[in-house]
């Protein structure tokens, strides 16, 4: 399905008419920046690893070295990645007063680096780490990333316990404050943009439903089908780094 100028114009019209538009983003918005997603055939991060063996809370507690072996390539890609035109377009929409904020499932910090001010991270981030023994929290600095890239497990300077990045693992509770804020933002929105997410991971996948049931409009920009496609006003299967800037350009030209 290739987008047309009419689709882009219609998306711009929906954004212009909305009072509380919110974006929900997943891994697909960051793949143009060189960060692989989890499920794509041939490149997905779960093709070579069982997530429960490397990225669950239980696995981390017993074998943190396996987690760091798995996440090491991703950390390198995230540290070298730059925001792509899709991230920048969302920041521009916020600056134009047409987007309330971004709820993201990503941990790469690219929305903030692109200039977005209100970003709710429901799966955590890599900016800090917490000791699993004494719960001392530290900033994830260059020395910590150097340890990870060098194949070592970073440890707490206070008790020598293992440091776990503040990202949400399987079997771990999501950050309550972030989830509450995300739910409130989307549930009370009148336009939801789902960008780069196949809507397969709960609870984020369920966030748009309450808004839709209250009459919100829905635009989906994602390569793969989602369970909400039949309720969408517009669906784009194209590169998000191409489509979103086109929508912003249409709004600027109005």
The DSSP secondary structure of 128-156, one letter per residue, reads EEEETTT--EEE--HHHHHHHHTT---B-
Say if residue 86 is exposed, middle or buried (CB neighbours under 10 Å; 0-12, 13-18, 19+): buried
Question: Which residue spans within the chain are E strands per DSSP?
Answer: 21-25, 101-104, 119-121, 124-131, 137-139, 163-167, 191-195, 217-221, 234-236
Cβ pair 166, 139 in contact under 8 A: no
Q: Taking the domains of the chain in order of start, what are their residue ranges?
A: 1-35+83-123+173-254, 40-80+126-167
Q: Which residue has the tokens 């000791």?
A: 131
Does the fold of domain 40-80+126-167 match that of domain 1-35+83-123+173-254?
no
pLDDT of residue 69: 87
Q: What is the pTM of this model?
A: 0.91
**1-35+83-123+173-254 homologous superfamily:** TPP-binding domain (3.40.50.1220)
Catalytic residue among 123, 125, 136, 180: 123
Contacts of 173 (CB under 8 A, 6+ apart): none
pLDDT at 46: 45
pLDDT of residue 147: 81
Using the CB atoms, write b or e for 134-164: b if 16+ within 10 Å: eeeebebeeebbeebeeeeebbbeeeebbbb
- What pLDDT sits at residue 195? 98
Q: 223 catalytic, yes or no?
A: no
In tens digits, the chain (254 residues) has pLDDT values of: 456 889 999 999 999 999 999 999 999 999 999 998 765 454 445 456 666 677 889 989 999 998 898 888 888 888 889 999 999 999 999 999 999 999 999 999 999 999 999 999 999 999 999 999 999 999 988 778 888 888 889 999 999 999 999 999 988 999 999 999 999 999 999 999 999 999 998 899 999 999 999 999 999 999 999 999 999 999 999 999 999 999 999 999 76
Fold of 40-80+126-167: SIR2/SIRT2 'Small Domain' (3.30.1600)
Tokens 């792509």, located at residue: 84
């Amino acid at each position: 399905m290739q987008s047309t100028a009419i689709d882009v114009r219609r998306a711009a019209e929906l954004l212009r008419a909305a009072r509380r538009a919110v974006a929900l983003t997943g891994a697909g918005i960051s793949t143009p920046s060189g960060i692989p997603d989890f499920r794509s055939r041939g490149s997905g991060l779960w093709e070579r690893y069982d997530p429960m063996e490397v990225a669950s809370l239980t696995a981390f507690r017993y074998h943190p070295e396996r987690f760091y072996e798995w996440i090491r390539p991703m950390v390198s890609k995230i540290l070298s990645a730059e925001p792509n035109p899709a991230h920048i377009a969302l920041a521009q929409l916020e600056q134009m007063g047409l987007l309330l904020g971004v709820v993201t499932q990503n941990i790469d910090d690219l929305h903030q680096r692109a200039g977005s001010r209100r970003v709710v991270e429901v799966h955590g981030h890599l900016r800090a780490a917490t000791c699993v023994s004494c719960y001392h929290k530290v900033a994830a600095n260059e020395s910590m990333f150097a340890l990870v890239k060098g194949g070592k497990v970073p440890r707490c300077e206070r008790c020598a316990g293992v440091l776990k990045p503040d990202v949400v693992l399987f079997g771990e509770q999501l950050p309550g404050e972030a989830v509450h804020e995300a739910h409130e933002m989307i549930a009370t929105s009148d336009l939801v943009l789902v960008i780069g997410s196949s809507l397969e991971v709960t609870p984020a996948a369920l966030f748009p439903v309450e808004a839709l049931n209250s009459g919100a409009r829905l635009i989906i920009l994602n390569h793969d089908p989602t369970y909400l496609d039949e309720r969408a006003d517009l669906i784009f299967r194209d590169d998000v780094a191409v489509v979103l800037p086109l929508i912003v350009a249409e709004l600027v030209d109005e």
